[in-house]
Amino acid sequence: MKKLINALFLALTISTGAAAAPFLAIGDGAELFLTGTLGVRADDNIYLTNSGLDDVIFDINPGVELVFGQNSTTQGSLRIVESFANYSDNDNLNTSLSAVNFSTRFDDGKSKLNVNAGFSQQNQNTYDVRGLTRRDASSAGFNGEISLTEKSSLGLGGAYSRTDYKRGGYSDLTTFTIPINYYYELSPKFDLSLGLRYRDTKSQLGLDSKDYAYRIGFRGEFTPKVNGSLQVGFGTRKIDSRDNESLMDLEGAVNFLLSEKTTFQVNLSNDFGDSASGAQQKSFSLGGTVITKASEEWSVRTGLTYRKLDFYTRTDDFFEFTLGADYTVSTNVTIQAAYAYRKFETKLAGSSFKNNVFSLAANFRY
């Protein structure tokens, strides 16, 4: 613990007052940065069981980031991070995990195209994956928009994702999604949208399915203090060897400007899903986050999320409360302190849990 704290203070001393400059400039418009995180977490339920086992975990996450295309119509970045998690009492759980993420964006004012791809080795728990289960997550996708007329445009995308579990009892999952949206400008800052989303899901242990969502919605600035996007519609799921299911499809993210320094963000969704064990589900989530920029250096955030998981034979509930503060030491260093409380309730015997996590971390970018 003392070694980590000493490293944090040393890094802060070196970086205070440093200017925002890349580690290495590569030609015109391309820059290489060194990134990293030094952190410590106190977790009272590392396995997310109903009888929690606690530990203190030290995180060291060095990385590099290549940024290219600044001030041009095509921009992008490539980021590589190696994450080391070291447990104080359970050193058999220590891990070294890799993550690679690439993204690029083209925008000439009339057409837009975003492309992304990523790979990450994961060992974190979720309400759905317990016991620090190793898995690999891969993803790739694109979404673009092209102007059709002065007031209309067409959006088209595609997304692929796959999760490979390294432990028995969990179902490898592959999904392919195609969203299509038509946008019509009702005002210079407000669009009406009509959309269709298709999704194909392959589950190793569960049933394969095909989803269709028919949507109507809005995006842009609703009022001078409210902006975001909201889509509402009808969703159906066609399941192999079972009757079809339906639901009211929801997807939205709306921001409310409460004051010059405070923003309230609301996210909601209602969609089909698949559990890590391969079970079919309907998933509803509603979350809100308040972010206050107290000063140039300080910002404070608090959030609350509720998720309802309907497995047709039972319903599970997941709650999460978060509280955090960010302190900007310099253009190169940010300190983050956070607390998270999680509660999961289910009728499955022995599967409910509560979890408290306190964390402190310094993030670097040179």
Which whole-number Å values give the CA distances from 12 to 97, 335, 361, in the listed order? 26, 9, 12
DSSP character for 92?
A: G
Residue 128: count other Cβ atoms within 10 Å of its Cβ.
Answer: 19
CA distance 320 to 304: 6
CA distance 75 to 79: 14
Q: Is the pTM of this model over 0.75?
A: yes
CA distance 289 to 305: 9
Q: Which of 118, 113, 116, 122 is nearest to 147 (CA)?
A: 113
pLDDT given at position 5: 46
pLDDT given at position 52: 85
pLDDT given at position 83: 98
Helix (H) or strand (E) holding 13: helix 2-15
CA distance 24 to 193: 43
Assigned token pair, 291: 């972010």
What are the φ/ψ torsions at residue 274 (nearest 5 degrees)?
-135, 130
CATH number of 19's domain: 2.40.160
Of the CA atoms within 13 Å of residue 191, those in its CB half-sphere come to: 19
Structural domain for 131, as ranges: 2-365
Count of domains observed in the chain: 1
Length of the chain, in residues = 366
Per-residue pLDDT of the chain (366 residues; tens, 9 = 90+): 454 445 444 444 444 444 456 767 777 789 999 999 999 999 999 999 988 899 999 999 999 999 999 889 999 999 999 999 999 999 999 999 999 999 999 998 889 999 999 999 999 999 999 889 999 999 999 999 999 999 999 999 999 999 999 999 999 999 999 999 999 999 999 999 999 999 999 999 999 999 999 999 999 999 999 999 999 999 999 998 788 999 999 999 999 999 999 999 999 999 999 999 999 999 999 999 999 999 999 999 999 999 999 999 999 999 999 999 999 999 999 999 999 999 999 999 989 999 999 999 999 999
pLDDT given at position 314: 95
What are the φ/ψ torsions at residue 7 (nearest 5 degrees)?
-65, -40
